[in-house]
Each structure stands twice: as structure tokens, then as C-alpha cells.
Amino acid sequence: MSVKVPNLSKPAQRLYSVDVLRGIASLSVCYRHLTLSFPEGSFVRASGSWGGIGVQVFFVISGFIIPYSLFKASYGLRSYGTFVAKRMIRLDPPYLAAICLIIPLGYLCAMAPGFRGPAYHVSVSQVLLHFAYLNSFFKDNWVNPVFWTLGIEFQYYLLVGLLFPLIASRRRWLRYTVFAGFGGLAVIFSPASARPFVFHWIFLFMLGMTAFHWHCGVVGKWEFMGLMFLLSAAAWASLGWADATVGLATACAILFINSTNAITQFFGRISYSLYLIHNPTGVKTINLGMRIASSWRSQLLLLLVGLGVSLVAASALYRWVEKPAQKWSSAITYNPHRHVA
């Protein structure tokens, strides 16, 4: 039996909404971590309370954009190795470059006068686990706390590359079988202890997949609306109302808001680099400045300085590492075929 992947029913167009949402999500997470360095109870710290929802936005975006890119590329299972290689070549160079910056910077900051906290230390095994995104499973801390989400994303890439012909099939029963399987696994992995597993977050990814189905004409209007309602309700039950609301809003924004400008384009371009680099640059800048920032005005100024340092560092990482990696990845193409055994 073969699984037939449908032809693209809508003309190819630049999805500016994805770039805008990436920029918002990355900036949101960055702002959250920058504000955590300020004293509890301060309005500066409180202003970043909801910044962590950027992670959920990223999960929905991946749920949409990975199947969509495979769809446009006429991907088939015989190209699974190529797909994984393309993702690693696209994402690993800036990720590894960030690690190479974080470790020596951690030791240098620990030697600075007035340093407070435990001595900085990383083990060889801890570093090696980063190459396969496995730290969460071995209870070995990531050198950068935001990297845990990259482990979730990598699991998702491996999963969707294998199941894409079923996810994108016009045969409703095949798609629903996959979604039902995902839902069952989401129940199994629903406890908070299962956060390192992709299935704990799968309903957010499924919201993105359903947006992909609608955008490419795989499902009709009423089926799309019904699925979005059911998936949002399931996300609410498993993850909470905030995650479900953010997930639904993100999926709808991808589909129905498609405008951009120079500012959103900039933040969209550097979003991945900003996500990787804001902790070892902007957060450490604020930690250093907090020794002299006592008033709320000085703390607000310090927050802006930390944000500025993060953006400059992200721009440099994007220009010198991430952008070349994008070109290397794009140079690798799939063998065209539409029918997958």
C-alpha cells in the first residue's frame, strides 16, 4: 500500500507570520530571563512573568513549519537521513558556537571579584550529551538552561520525519490514527516529570500540524475548526489554559496574519541566535550590573543594557555562524518523489 501525499493546493508564498512569531517568541523568552536577575517583588522582575510562553509559541511554529517545508520539498521516507542532516547542519553550528562561548565565559565570570554563587564546573560527559540533546534524560544540567527545548524540538524532528507521509495524507483515517496515537501518548507523558519528552507537549505541535493541513488544503473549513477546538481543549486539560490559549492563538496567527516590516524581519532573522545567546551575554551583564544598580531607575536602565548586549551578540552569531549554516543546509536537496511505500 502506498501513502499519497497531496499536491500543494495554494500558491507558494512567504509566510511572514512565522518570522514575526519567531521574533516575538525569542524576544519574550529573552526578556523573561533578563528580568529574573532582578529582586523578587520589583516591578522590573514582575514585568517578565509571562515571557516564558514564547517556548509554547516555538512548539506550535515547529508543528506547522516542518511539515510545510517537507510538503513543498516533495519529501519521502527515503530522504529521512537527508532531512535529519539538513536540520543538524542548519541548527547545530550556532548551537555549538554558543556552547563554546558559554563554558569559558562561565569560568571567567566565576573568577570575577565579588562573584556570588557556587563555583562553575562542567564535566566532559555533560558537554558530550549536548551533541545528541540528551542532557534532560541523564539529569545532567544543560550548560544553558534554555537548551532543554532544543531537545524537545530534536525529538519532534525525528518523529515528524518518520511519520510525515501519514500526517500529510489525504486519507482522513490515516491522519486521525496518527493523531489518536499522539493523544494517547500525551496522556501517558502528561505528568510534570515527563517534560523532557516531546509527547508531553505534543498537542501544541498538533495545533501547528492542523494549521499546516488547512494552509495546504488537506482539510476543509469545518474539519479544521473542529480539530482546533478539540486540540485546544486537550492542550488545556494536559498543559493548562495558558498554554492552550497561546497555542491556539499562535496557530491562527500563522494562518491569518501575514504582514511584516523591517523591525519584525530583524527579530525574525536573529530569533534562534537570540534564543541561544541571551543567557551568557545579557543575563551575565545584568548580574554584573546589579552590584551597583539599587534604584528602580538604574535597574530599568540595566535591563535595557542587558537587552542591547543580547541583541548585539545575537546579531553577530547570526551573521558569522547561523547565516552560513542556513546556506549550507539549503544547498542539500531531497530526491523528488511523492509516493512513499
d(CA 315, CA 271): 9
Nearest to 123 by CA among 109, 143, 108: 143
Spatial contact of 254 and 64, defined as CB atoms under 8 Å apart: yes
pLDDT tens per residue across all 341 residues of the chain: 344 444 444 445 668 999 999 999 999 999 999 999 999 988 899 999 999 999 999 999 999 999 999 999 999 999 999 999 999 999 999 999 999 999 999 998 878 776 666 788 999 999 999 999 999 999 889 999 999 999 999 999 999 999 999 999 999 999 999 999 999 999 999 999 999 999 999 999 999 999 999 999 999 999 999 999 999 999 999 999 999 999 999 999 999 998 889 999 999 999 999 999 999 999 999 998 988 888 888 999 999 999 999 999 999 999 999 999 999 999 999 864 444 43
State pTM to two decimals.
0.93
- φ/ψ (deg, to 5) at 175: -60, -45
Q: Report d(CA 118, CA 120) in Å as an integer.
A: 6
Q: Which residue is it, cell 490559549?
A: 245
Residue 78 is predicted with a pLDDT of 94
Model pLDDT, residue 8: 46
Contact 338, 294 (CB under 8 A): no
Per-residue pLDDT at 311? 98
Q: What pLDDT, on a 0 to 100 scale, did the predictor assign at position 13?
A: 62
H helix runs in the chain, sequence order: 16-35, 43-46, 54-72, 80-110, 124-129, 148-167, 172-188, 202-215, 221-239, 241-256, 262-269, 271-278, 284-289, 296-317, 323-330
**Digit-coded pLDDT (tens) for 140-167:** 899 999 999 999 999 999 999 999 999 9
At 300 the pLDDT is 93
